[in-house]
A and B are shown apart, each in its own frame.
Chain A
Amino acid sequence: MELDAFKDQLKLQLENNRFYQKPDLLQSALLMKVNSVVKKIKQSVVTETALAIVASVAFVYFALAYPSFSFRIYFGVFSCVSIAFVFALLALRVKLHRLDDDLSVKQNLIDTHSVTKAYVRHYFRFCMILLPVCLCMAVFVFLFEFISVTPNQSIFTPYMFSHLWLPLIICYCLFSLGMYFFTKLYLQKLYGEHLHLLENLIQELENE
């Protein structure tokens, strides 16, 4: 059967058919939750921004008010990280709000792909950046608060190397490796397939 013959037959069928959704069902559709990846990312970004602002305020407060100097440094570093995170999230929000369903299909796919990819990249980078920051801060607090190293005391002696730095470096490497693969796998599971699908659709539209 030719497509044009199919089209004519379909038209005949459609003229005899009436199935309409009742207006009250349409109205209830306007109140429901949505399921698209972009909408979910939008919701996640709003939640993460709110949490990052609360964390920033708390960290700044503790950085200024905590009695112990090393903990003040610790909270100060984390307040810088969380404030930077707030700005990164706000930039992503601006990008997300520029997405418009009124665009052509191709442009919409390109924009959705670029925003989803940006979100995944930002999430991955943030996780990876936090690893050395957390480790350095943990060591810093441990040395100055719990084993009371004085500023004049060397922390790079052979004894410290074998009893502190070496086990610490090994633990850090193992933990970082685990986190690296876990984060990759987690993001791949959540967004990998969808990103791949979008890439294929864009590619297919571009091909002649």
Chain B
Amino acid sequence: MEEKEFIELITNHQRIIYKVCNLYAQSSTDKEDLFQEITLNAWKGIRNFKGDSLFTTWLYRVALNTALTFKRKENRQRKVDNAVDSLAFPHEQQPEADEQLAAMYKAINELSDIDKALITLYLDDYNYSEMGNVLGITANNVAVKMNRLKKKLKEESEKYLNNQ
């Protein structure tokens, strides 16, 4: 694949990379570094992409693999106060719209890296079998984890709302 073609392809799907970067990196420097690294890994790996799965699934796999093994420059301590600012698509959020959304964003930001991967795929309409395929675990395992996560997120977001 030509560089030009690749850039066009990534441009059309870069929202996936943004989602992963915003979820896994906190500082703007780390986000930029991670974005660059995912793009570069996708470019290097595109020759191995045989089209057995959807391009989006493949890109998710590359993005999550890169994000999970990415060595952050910042301290790994999460800052809850900055959670809303650091999550996916915060700048377009309408402030009046949503305390509930903000509480959910905060709750998601507090999850472990693996749970974040599950949520990212779930929010993008992946079914349990596809999620299992990307993560390398069984659909049953995904179902168990998702049930637990849904419960946890509901509780945590309510806790944030009650504390406000």
A-to-B contact residues, CB < 8 Å: 1-4, 6-7, 9-10, 13-14, 16-17, 19-21, 23, 26-27, 29-30, 32, 34-38, 100-109, 112, 194, 198, 201, 204-206, 208
Contact = CB atoms under 8 A, between A and B. Distances in A.
B7 interface: yes
Shortest 8 CB-CB contacts between residues of A and residues of B = A104-B136, A106-B136, A29-B39, A29-B36, A108-B65, A17-B92, A105-B135, A1-B100
A23 B53 CA distance: 25
B93 interface: yes
Contacts of A23: 7-8, 11
B136 A6 contact: no
Contacts of A38: 69
Contacts of A35: 33, 37, 70-71, 73
A101 B65 contact: yes
A102 B61 contact: yes
Contacts, number: 143
Contacts of A107: 136
22 contacts: A3-B154, A6-B104, A10-B123, A13-B89, A20-B11, A32-B36, A34-B37, A35-B70, A100-B45, A101-B41, A101-B45, A102-B49, A102-B58, A103-B61, A104-B61, A105-B68, A106-B136, A106-B137, A108-B136, A198-B69, A205-B136, A208-B141
A204 B149 CA distance: 13
Contacts of A1: 100-101, 103-104, 154, 157-158
Contacts of A2: 150, 154
A27 B70 contact: no
B10 interface: yes
A27 B61 contact: no
